[in-house]
Amino acid sequence: TVLKEHPLDQKKTVMTVEAKLFGIGAETYTPGSGEFCLKYASENKKKGVVVLMDTGHYHPTEVVSDKVSSILAFDDKMALHVSRPVRWDSDHVVSFDDETRELAREIVRCGADRFYISLDYFDASINRIAAWVIGARNARKALLWALLQPNDELRALQDEGDFTQRLMLMEEAKTLPFTDIWNELCEREDMPGNEEWFAEVAEYENEVLSARK
């Protein structure tokens, strides 16, 4: 009904449904459960509806990276809110942690053109500009890390059923150089590679943000 009454230009707007397995003040019922959103998106994908998964909206033992391949076996696209969950709370600053790297690896392997990616984070206890920069840089680092994996070789070994050599290569890839490549990329883009950017943020906080209090 909503889609019929309010048609959207799908070239400019992507309609998503976002699941949340918990809700404030909801003990026995949470609108937008995982099952409901998956089924709704599947039933309406011809109308342009895409399922959205927030990395902070699931049980602490669940990870979105494990769900990606199953969704894309049936859907052409999916959307992601990349954040850092803390217990049952989400939307903390994105970290360059195992799950962010695994999620980036799924994005690269499944085809980046199949994803809508946004960073969804908030932490009022730290500088907002620093939070934005840290999160954005960590998301980019994860994608670069995933692109540097020997993905073609791993795919070939998977297709050949050579799981022993595939595991060997996956483990060896964990110690391949990364930092030097990240710093080189930042230098080419005229951006600081390490923590040099933080001095500029601190200066802005002292000279501009502090005056707004």
The model's pLDDT over 34-49, given as tens digits with 9 standing for 90+, comes to 888 889 998 988 888 9
Length of the chain: 213
Q: How far apart are CA 168 and CA 212, in angstroms?
A: 55
pLDDT digit string, tens, across residues 124-170:
788 888 989 999 999 999 999 999 999 999 999 999 999 999 999 99
pTM: 0.84
Are the C-beta atoms of 51 and 17 separated by less than 8 Å? yes
pLDDT confidence of residue 86: 75
The pLDDT > 70 percentage for the chain reads: 91
